[in-house]
Structure 1
Amino acid sequence: MRTLPLLAAALLGVSLALTAPAQAAPSIGRYVALGDSFASVGDLTALNGPPGCFRAADNYPNQVAAALAPAEFVDNTCGGATTRDMTEAQSAFGDVNPPQFDGLTAETDLVTLTIGANNLDLLRTLVPCLIPSLAETSFTPRIGNPCEQRFTATGVDTFAQRIDDEVRPAVAAVLRGIRDRAPRATIVAVNYLALVPPTSDECGYWHGVAKGDIPYLFRALRRLSTMLMDEAAHAGDIGVDANVIAGHDMCQTHDKRWVESIYLPQPATPWHPNSLGMRAVGALVVAALRN
């Protein structure tokens, strides 16, 4: 597996330009983008495809396509997608996104994939323990770490356990399914931009996360992202570790963050990549392909 070196990734940043298609090598015939909201969203003022997928015209697949100029580009990404939606139609707020694997053919040259988070049903899983944090301010008593307490109450980290027991085999099956349908394709697995910093000292209040939970959520989401890289390595595919890049989480100022908080200076989705983030991830993918 070829993984973008961590040092190179850290140096890329948003300043890395997506260079002209003429510099792209090798040439790409058909490029198919698969994945969930971390692949599909971006600037919500310009959407394509089923509205319920929130598929932005500036998402990272579009950034990659603009840089590499494939002969064909198929963006099948959709917000809320799970591994099941690779082979089954997905209902998305009244819309229907066909099975994402429908875009794969034997002639496909490039596939990008971001998947796995929604297998954990993060909205239903995390919101109950995040709600108390909305009352936490610098003027109120600390809420503590309600999410960490919730998931480790039995002495076993059930969140981490589900990543290993449920999500890992499902992601491995998706990678095999892509290879079966697109045997000659270069497959690039892209993980999740960091939502929060490693320590609570780096984050203020009113981001939807109790300060005491920030280190736990950082570790949990890092585990999910590392799992995706591990499975890409096992399959012999390329892994792009976007999660490892620090200093652009939702706790940063609006000009630095690549993931939006519940404050929205940009037309983006809370807790998801904004336009800056999507440009950065697109640049990482292009650099990995050229490495």
Structure 2
Amino acid sequence: MTAAANSDPTTPHTESEDLGWTINIPGHPPRADSAEYRVARAAMHRLTDTLDRPFYGAEPVEDHHGGGLWLKDSDGWYLVRNLVGIEWSAQFCADPAKVDLLRRNAKRLYALCPEAVEELGIRELLDTPITDAAGVQRWTDSICNASVPLPHEVHSAALPQGGGVHHYPSPVTEIVFFKRDDFELWVVDAVGQAVAVAPVAKRGSGDGRVQVLFAAQESALHPELERARANGDVLLLGADHPMALTAFAQQYGRPAPSAAAPGAAAPPRAAA
């Protein structure tokens, strides 16, 4: 990721990267870890270490501002997620009244887990209405938001290193957490661009077609996918398409065919 040349974080500026996106960022103070964030990060790692089998993956993990709410019952700590999470830079366009709805939602949930409230030390946080930017900042960096433990490859990595939630749509990236290990979510097209696919029928049906869920802008499939969506349709690849064969290769029990042109990167492997 690169910022505009000679950019001043206190003034409006842009950020961009090789994936081909550019966003406008409102002026804001230079980013630094707040006290709330340092506490939340330490608590997230401590709580993650208590889990027998973390759903999102074991350490090393990064802390995602994903609206995580850590609860505790007789079996120990577990994680649920609030209605939405607030990414750090998004706080500067956040409406305090709307963020307060997240606080109120969390407070109602934590009323069922008073032990967790006391151990996390969040009683004041839950009881204090959010009415201004300072309150939004406090909530954004708290253990009630900046606390979803994600491995790097599914948090901030870009393909082929990983399909991170900061780069690809969440309805696609979250498939990696529940898909079968022998199905490849991420494949590449003939020029090495990332494409996400999913089966169209249940396992054992004999239907080897796949539906395209995501295609990088540089992919030849991208305009096809956009046209299909504009028409209310889905984009399907036949069972004999190289990307469909790659996606199912482990289930077929034979090496995956190469869908990439000579010299292109090999199909990236999705994290299990």
Fold match by TM threshold 0.5: no
Question: Normalised by the shorter chain, which TM-score bucket?
Answer: under 0.3
Larger Cα-atom Rg:
2
What is the TM-score normalised by the length of structure 2? 0.21
The structure with more helix, counted as a fraction of residues:
1
What is the TM-score normalised by the length of structure 1? 0.20
